[in-house]
C-alpha cells in the first residue's frame, strides 16, 4: 500500500511560487489541498487558483481563517478582530495525500508570539521548501534550512522553482544537507491544467522525495 504523503509547502520568502508548486505537487499525487490561512484576495484565493490549475476533481479543505486584508496574517487577523493561535489548527481528516500551503516563509507571524514554523511543528508535517532565484536567495535558503534543522523538522524535498543563475545554484547545492533531496520545477508558460499536468508528469518526485 502506498504511503500517504502529507506535506507542508513553505518557502524562503513571499512571492516565490508556493501556489504553483502546490498545484504541481497536488497534480502529481492527485492529493487534497488545504490553505490554513488566506490573507486577502478572497475573491481569487489560493484554493480557487489550485482548483482551476489541476486536471482532476480535487478535494479542497476549507481555510481555517479567511482574512480580509492582503497583509501579514497577524495584522490581517487583528484588523478583523480575530486572535489566531497555533492551537486553533489541526490537519483535515482525509485518507488521501494532502498538500498544505503556508503563508510566506517560516517566520511569518500568526500572532505576536507564534510563527508559521510553530504551526508546522504543531501539525507535524514534512516540509516542501520552495526556493526561487533572486538577490538574497542564498542567504534566505541557508537560514531557512538552518531553522528547520534547529527545530528538528522533517524535509520531504527542496524545490528549485524556475531558472537559476549558475553561480547561485552552485552555492545552494553545496549548502543543502546531503540527506535532503531536491527537484526542479521549470517556469510554466501558463498556469493552467495542461501546463501544470505536463510539469507534474515530468518532475520525478516520487523517486526523490521523502517523509510523510
101 is in an annotated binding site: yes
| Residue from 30, 35, 189, 208 carrying the catalytic annotation | 35
Q: Residue 205 has what pLDDT?
A: 61
| 144 labelled binding-site residue | no
Q: Would you give per-residue pLDDT tens digits along the chain (212 residues)?
A: 568 899 999 999 988 999 999 999 999 999 999 999 999 888 889 999 999 999 999 999 999 999 999 999 999 999 999 999 999 999 999 999 999 999 989 999 999 999 999 999 999 999 999 999 999 999 999 999 999 999 999 999 999 999 999 999 999 999 998 889 999 999 888 888 999 999 999 886 655 555 54
For the chain, list the domains and their CATH numbers. 6-207 (3.40.50.300)
SS3 helix, strand, coil % of the chain, rounded to 5? Answer: 35, 20, 45
16 belongs to an annotated ligand binding site: yes
To the question of whether residue 15 is assigned a binding role by annotation, the answer is yes
pLDDT at position 210: 56
Q: Kindly report whether the global pTM for this prediction surpasses the value 0.85.
A: yes
Alpha helices in the chain (DSSP H): 18-29, 46-53, 73-79, 116-123, 137-150, 166-175, 193-202
pLDDT value of residue 207? 52
Is 113 among the catalytic positions?
A: no
Supply the pLDDT for residue 1. Answer: 52
H-helix or E-strand spanning residue 38: strand 37-39
Q: What are phi and psi of 43, to 5 degrees?
A: -80, -20
Residue 187 marked ligand-binding: no
Q: Is 19 annotated as a binding residue?
A: yes
Amino acid at each position: 500500500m502506498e504511503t500517504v504523503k502529507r506535506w507542508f509547502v513553505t518557502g524562503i520568502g513571499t512571492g516565490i511560487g508556493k501556489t504553483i508548486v502546490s498545484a504541481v505537487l497536488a497534480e502529481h499525487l492527485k492529493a487534497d489541498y488545504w490553505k490554513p490561512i488566506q490573507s486577502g484576495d478572497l475573491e481569487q484565493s489560493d484554493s480557487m487558483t489550485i482548483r482551476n490549475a489541476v486536471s482532476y476533481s480535487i478535494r479542497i479543505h476549507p481555510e481555517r481563517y479567511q482574512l480580509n486584508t492582503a497583509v501579514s496574517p497577524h495584522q490581517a487577523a487583528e484588523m478583523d478582530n480575530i486572535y489566531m493561535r497555533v492551537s486553533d489548527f489541526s490537519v483535515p481528516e482525509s485518507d488521501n495525500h494532502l498538500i498544505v500551503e503556508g503563508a510566506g516563509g517560516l517566520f511569518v507571524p500568526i500572532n505576536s508570539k507564534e510563527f508559521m514554523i510553530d504551526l508546522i511543528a504543531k501539525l507535524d508535517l514534512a516540509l516542501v521548501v520552495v526556493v526561487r532565484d533572486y538577490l538574497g536567495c542564498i542567504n534566505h535558503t541557508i537560514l531557512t534550512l538552518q531553522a528547520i534543522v534547529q527545530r528538528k523538522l522533517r524535509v520531504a524535498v527542496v524545490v528549485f522553482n524556475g531558472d537559476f543563475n549558475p553561480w547561485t545554484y552552485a552555492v545552494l547545492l553545496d549548502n543543502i544537507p546531503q540527506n535532503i533531496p531536491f527537484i526542479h520545477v521549470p517556469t510554466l508558460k501558463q498556469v493552467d491544467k495542461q501546463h501544470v499536468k505536463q510539469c507534474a508528469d515530468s518532475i520525478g518526485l516520487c523517486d526523490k522525495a521523502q517523509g510523510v
